[in-house]
Structure 1
Amino acid sequence: MNVIRTTPPRPVDVTAVFPQLAPLARPAIRLHPRPGAPSPHDSSVGGPLLWPADEPWPHCHESHNQMDDLYEAYEVRASEDYEWHDGPNPMVPMAQLYVRDIPLLRPPGEADLLQVLWCPFEHEPDYKPPTALFWRSSAAVTGTLGTPPGPFAVEYDGYIPRPCVLTPEQITEYPNSTDLSKELQQQLRDWSNWQAAGSAVDSSWAPYPDSFYGSELSVAPGWKVGGWPGWGLTDPIARFCTACGAKMAPLLTIASCEWDSSNMGWVPYEDQALGSLDDSCVANPPKVKVSRTNRLQLYVCPEYPDHPHTDLIQ
């Protein structure tokens, strides 16, 4: 991982304007997936997994042949590369993350590797792809599976990631405004508070001061580990562990794009010379599209990471 990606510094120190935010700072690691040829020994998005040869490959056991209404509602069609039939569907590798590259991960026991797979199909009732997490010790894998089974059912191409290498970068995030108190939300909407920061704040944001916070200062776009969740489809929804009741923490955000026109300030320096930054080939290197253009947020129990995880479309 000798290539780097560098997020520009935020245009203003938000904690200098709103000291109340300082205790709410959280570390996050932007993954910066970019097309490449990862090996099973690399952290990757859509790359091959370090999967034990003697361990069964995970399958989705839900139905995959009763989706006509969904196709019509979402205006998508079945890929012509797949033959439709019912039965267990082999899951697709989404991400492989080594703790050596992503130190924010807190694996259980002696594990040093997280593997994330999903079924490339949206299922009821939430119409999102089911996910599976596997924590394992890489040193314990002595023989790897050569060629894993591929899925027989794929809803559309955006659920098959293009293999990407990662250039992880740690940043600091602050909560989405809807995660803040009503009083602080009101202060964010008062442009006079931002004017105290001086020329560092672009005056074009004056009519939309809270949007300045949301777009430039709080939650980073794109693929990331940890940090704060981004909200948009719903207000904040607390997730609780079904095994122990602990409040769950954001683990991984699977994004439909690395940035868009609303958050161009997060584009890494190294990508700013790529021409049209809003081009889908630049802004979405894995070519993943979650529920068309959304994010899939995975949550894990902070006390016991091997407890069942949960996920949420935003």
Structure 2
Amino acid sequence: MTRTTPPRPLDIEGLFPELGEHSATATRLHPRPGAPTAADSSVGGPLLWPAGESWPVCTDGADHYISELRTPASVRRDREIFAAAAARAASGDRYDLTDAERAEVPDYDFSEPDDLVEQPIPLVAVAQLYRRDVPDFAGPDGTDLLQVLWCPLDHPEEGYNPRVRLYWRRSGDVVDPLERAPEPPVVNDAYLPTPCVVFPEQVREYRYAALLPAELETRIRAWEGGGLSYQSDLSLAPGWKVGGFAGWSLTDPLPMDCAECGAAMTLLFTAASGEWDGGNGSWRPVEEPETASCDPTGVTIGRGYSLHVFRCPASFEHPHSTAMQ
């Protein structure tokens, strides 16, 4: 089954032809819960990882911001319980947990012992993207695989977000793959993605309004008011995506310049708290019913934001940067 973004309510570039100079393609990943393998592009699925290569860990220990630590197994069980309750409700029953289910769900403020973070924390798989599947794939020449991992705990120096690591590979070089990745002893439950298959779809985006030339932004703002929003309906696709442009809804646009060479960075990847907004839902794929969950991955960034990962256009070896918006 594919996922198809509805046509935009109108052709904004037709009204403002100058927007063509401020457009780019993005690939919406459309993650949905499933059973991906290491041979697949996925969100939260297993990675094609060499058995002889050490799995990355975070050793920040007590420097993590610690709040409501959970084991990965307990997070998954919670999600199973609430998914079962939702399925019963969809069949006409009242949404509720059974007594047995309720007994399994921890109290809202339950947390595993803090000292569990003092050991090395294996990173968790966030996304695996094969070049063949993602039209907007970007990577070093000769590579065909991007793997995104993060530490599933909050890092104060990262804006109280997970710390991201990127790996590019040639999939054909992995002849002895790792059978099972190590799991962290504890996680922030918002940073443990549900394993999802993806349905990549390329869409057209336009730059965030405040980053357009001032005269063009002014004209667009003057045009708005007929019920359509440049920002919400016509320019930036929400959800998990590769490429395109970042939104800056939380702060004013920040300068995302390479720490190595000073070049203006470009958006590589976005991990999102939801696939479409809860308002008009204009970005909800046409195949999805109105009752479909807009949060298939279980990931929440901050209070419902997105985590943008930027790369340097001069070299993939230069450090990436992130911004929560």
Range into which the TM-score falls when normalised by the shorter chain: 0.7 to 0.9
Against the structure 1 CA distance between its residues 253 and 263, is the aligned structure 2 distance closer, same or farther, given a 3 Å change threshold? farther
Q: 1:225 aligns with which of 233, 242, 260?
A: 242
Against the structure 1 CA distance between its residues 253 and 77, is the aligned structure 2 distance closer, same or farther, given a 3 Å change threshold? farther
Q: Which runs of 4+ in 1 moved over 6 A?
A: none
Report whether the alignment pairs 1:151 with 2:184.
yes
Where in structure 2 are the equivalents of 1:1-314 lying within 5 Å?
3-64=1-62, 67=65, 77=109, 79-80=111-112, 84-125=116-157, 126-155=159-188, 157-191=189-223, 205-206=225-226, 212-262=229-279, 264-271=281-288, 273=289, 275-277=290-292, 282-314=293-325
Residue 152 of structure 1, CA deviation: 1.7
Aligned length: 285
Against the structure 1 CA distance between its residues 81 and 286, is the aligned structure 2 distance closer, same or farther, given a 3 Å change threshold? farther
SS in 1 for 2:287: helix
SS in 1 for 2:118: coil
* Maintained 8 Å contact 1:33/1:45: yes
Residue 124 of structure 1, CA deviation: 1.1
Which range moved further: 257-266 or 41-50?
A: 257-266
TM-score normalised to the size of structure 1? 0.85
CA RMSD of aligned residues (A): 2.0
**Structure 1 counterpart of 2:2, one-letter code:** I
TM-score normalised to the size of structure 2? 0.82
In 1, the alpha carbon distance for the partners of 2:109 and 2:146 equals: 32
Residue 263 of structure 1, CA deviation: 5.2
In 2, the alpha carbon distance for the partners of 1:244 and 1:173 equals: 27
Q: List per-residue Cα deviations over 1:89-137 (Å, max 9, x = no partner).
A: 1100000000000132221131110000001111113111101000010
* Maintained 8 Å contact 1:78/1:154: no
* Maintained 8 Å contact 1:221/1:259: yes
* Maintained 8 Å contact 1:58/1:91: yes
SS in 2 for 1:190: helix
* Maintained 8 Å contact 2:44/2:195: yes
In 2, the alpha carbon distance for the partners of 1:182 and 1:242 equals: 27
Q: Report the equivalent of 2:86.
A: none
Residue 237 of structure 1, CA deviation: 1.4
In 2, the alpha carbon distance for the partners of 1:287 and 1:51 equals: 24
Structure 2 unaligned runs (5+)?
A: 69-107
Which range moved further: 160-169 or 231-240?
A: 231-240
Residue 303 of structure 1, CA deviation: 2.3
* Maintained 8 Å contact 2:239/2:273: yes
* Maintained 8 Å contact 1:215/1:263: no
In 1, the alpha carbon distance for the partners of 2:63 and 2:230 equals: 44
Q: Report the equivalent of 1:202.
A: none
In 2, the alpha carbon distance for the partners of 1:262 and 1:182 equals: 28
* Maintained 8 Å contact 2:26/2:205: yes
Against the structure 1 CA distance between its residues 246 and 119, is the aligned structure 2 distance closer, same or farther, given a 3 Å change threshold? same
* Maintained 8 Å contact 1:298/1:312: yes
